[in-house]
Homo-oligomer: A and B are copies of this chain.
């Protein structure tokens, strides 16, 4: 309730100037392409595309695209975390999905939709490739393998959404917060096995509970040494302890 968008339409121009435009993407030389949407597509393919693929950087809290707007781009996340958000008419703010490197967002444009279904917001610094729809279409025709990549991406997001419903959508607040931490650690770990602690508002929006409740539970976990601050927003956790609380004994 009473949630205000990080950056609204009114300031969209400001967003654009905030984005560091990094210029033409070099898919042929992309060292993480095996993780991305274009895995398996030969380097030569990118010479033939109709419209170029650009590479952008978004600062924490900035909007990547807004629900309902009609755009012509899919985004492939290279680095950072993106939240897909939704605000109900009565102001209720909910996060529908949290996505990291290797995931493509805005895929709904390939099917039924003529506009994005949710608003995508960068959580930390996000690094992504902006792919025009016609380019995808062209590559799909040339390399049917891309259809499978798209389907795989959709299937992964469906699995994520289902897991969300099952693990984060029911039971007590404490159990849900414990599940959320396990979820963050499992899906978006850093190289040292730590995870990025989100702010209270975002965790509340993921779990459908009040921010104060989140805070109380997190504070309790810290006191019980189930959570340890490593550096900045990075935390380590007691896996067994939290699994116990989450009801996975």
Q: What's the least CB distance linking A156 to chain B, in Å?
A: 8
Nearest B residue (CB) for A161: B161
Query: Could you tell me if B248 and A166 are in contact, using CB atoms closer than 8 angstroms?
Result: no
Which of A44-52, A84-92, A186-194, A230-238 makes up part of the contact surface? A84-92
Task: Check if A2 is an interface residue, CB within 8 A of chain B.
Answer: no
Task: Check if A33 is an interface residue, CB within 8 A of chain B.
Answer: no
Q: What's the least CB distance linking A121 to chain B, in Å?
A: 16
Query: Could you tell me if B162 and A97 are in contact, using CB atoms closer than 8 angstroms?
Result: yes
List the B side residues contacting A108 at CB < 8 Å. 155, 158-159
Nearest B residue (CB) for A90: B247
Count identical subunits in the complex. Answer: 2
Taking a contact as CB atoms closer than 8 A, the residue among B92, B94, B154 that contacts A151 in the complex is B154
Q: Which of A140-175 contact B (CB under 8 A)?
A: 144, 147-148, 150-152, 154-159, 161-162, 164-166, 169-171
A92 and B162 in contact, given A154-B155, A155-B108, A155-B111 (Cβ under 8 angstroms): no
Q: What's the least CB distance linking A115 to chain B, in Å?
A: 13
CA gap between A165 and B167 in the complex, in Å: 12
Query: Could you tell me if A166 and B111 are in contact, using CB atoms closer than 8 angstroms?
Result: no
Task: Check if A208 is an interface residue, CB within 8 A of chain B.
Answer: yes
List the B side residues contacting A111 at CB < 8 Å. 148, 151-152, 155-156
Query: What are 10 of the A-B contact pairs (CB < 8 Å)?
Result: A89-B247, A90-B247, A92-B171, A94-B165, A94-B170, A111-B151, A112-B156, A154-B155, A165-B169, A169-B208
A→B interface (CB under 8 Å): 84, 86, 88-90, 92, 94, 96-97, 107-108, 110-112, 117-118, 144, 147-148, 150-152, 154-159, 161-162, 164-166, 169-171, 208, 247-249
